[in-house]
Structure 1
Amino acid sequence: MQFAPGARRLAAYALVAALPFAFVPLGLAVVVLAPAFVLWFHRDPDRDTPASGVVAPADGTVSVIREEDDWLRVGVYMSAADVHVNRAPKSGFLEHVTHTPGAHKPAFSKDSDRNERVTLQFDDYEVVLIAGAFARRIHPHLDPGRTVERGGRIGHISFGSRADVKLPPTYEKSALLVEEGDTVRAGETVLVEEQ
């Protein structure tokens, strides 16, 4: 099984933190389960990306669909059970990566619009990785100046969050193939056909 970059290091930290529990009843279970949970949380399975369409940037539940200044935003909330590796919704050239400090409200709430975030600005769309209540680390995998293919890995968020894709005015809300509450898979579920 593949894991997101840095997962083994985080699992080692969890193991060291759990070692003091080894000498209490059921403590060995904590020692084993803590690093196992960290690795499971950072799993990175392969995906079969369709040949066309704008695909979901994350596994999870569609929690936001709205128009902003003629752009279309589709947000995917990732629960603790979802894969947290994020993927490119479509092929593109990465122009900028911008970190914006902010709060750490639950990623499924309206207050999360003011949360810490990393914006990956591609030539004709954006992906916004938003920290949640427990997430404290957003890890973009690309530097500006790189081209990415549809479904390619672009980053991950440790321990909960939301990933939004912002599409230009050529994409209309009425053309979406998903609605709020739908479950999607990063790099596989088509949100809308390409315009």
Structure 2
Amino acid sequence: MRIPIHREGWPFIALFAAVNAVAFWLWLWAGLALLPLTIWCVAFFRDPERTPPPGENLLISPADGKLLPTIEAVPPAELGLGPQPRRRLSIFMDVFSVHVNRMPLSGRVIALAYRSGKFINASFDKASEHNERMGARVRWMNSSNPDEDIAVVQIAGLVARRIVCDIKEGDTVKRGERYGMIRFGSRLDVYLPNSATIMIQDGSVTRAGETVLAELQG
């Protein structure tokens, strides 16, 4: 069975495979000891196909992982969403999760903003404020109200040291399409408009491009 691999993974897979091959050549047991790491590297960069559920008003998960406790928080200032707190859904991706990120809704990218920062454990709430991040402000295709824009923020974690974002300001995006990834353990935050209805419980396991997070009004 062929395993789809994200393009970001091939250099790492090639490196792990080369080191593993040399280890096998030097000593069989060394090669066997390193083999699980090579298999893990392939699994980390897997990029399975996903099918979004019907309903353009259903906001879907942008990441595989576990939903952390929902809180109210002010969106990143650089996205221009104002100082009022919004409900924030945070998904923690460990090193065994699929790390390809998918767009949670169809619409237009209003703003993109990168901010450097720390590399605190991504499961902690303070990671949203202090860690390196890439934020996207997206306007739903069925809305013309800036107050209804959604923020999707990729956040680097303790091990993650590279955020990949393949969209730019002004792009038209489709619900469920790939738009980036974060390497080696991370977090993704979604800031909801006040009119949205949350449809998932804290602690739930999510699948990018398939799990419904909320229902949008409009």
Per the TM superposition, whether the score is higher than 0.5 is yes
Question: TM-score by structure 1 length?
Answer: 0.90
**Structure number with larger C-alpha Rg:** 2
Residue in 1 that maps onto 2:5 = 3
Secondary structure at the residue paired with 1:27?
helix
2-structure distance, mates of 1:89, 1:163: 11
Percent of matched pairs sharing the same residue: 33
Instruction: Please give the residue correspondences for 1:40-119 in structure 2 after superposition, counting only pairs within 5 Å.
Output: 40-52=43-55, 53-68=58-73, 69-113=84-128, 114-119=130-135
Question: TM-score by structure 2 length?
Answer: 0.81
The letter for the 1-side match of 2:134 is: V
What is the Cα deviation at residue 32 of structure 1? 4.1
Residue in 2 that maps onto 1:27 = 30
RMSD after superposition: 1.8
CA deviation string 1:138-179 (max 9, x = no partner): 1012122211111111111111101111122222xxx31112
CA deviation string 1:98-156 (max 9, x = no partner): 21111111111133121111111212211100111100011012122211111111111
Moved over 4 A (4+): 17-20
What is the Cα deviation at residue 97 of structure 1? 2.2
What is the Cα deviation at residue 18 of structure 1? 4.3
2-structure distance, mates of 1:62, 1:47: 19
Instruction: Please give the residue correspondences for 1:124-135 in structure 2 after superposition, counting only pairs within 5 Å.
Output: 124-135=149-160
1-structure distance, mates of 2:16, 2:159: 16
CA deviation string 1:45-93 (max 9, x = no partner): 1111012200111111101412232422101001122111111111111
2-structure distance, mates of 1:180, 1:188: 17
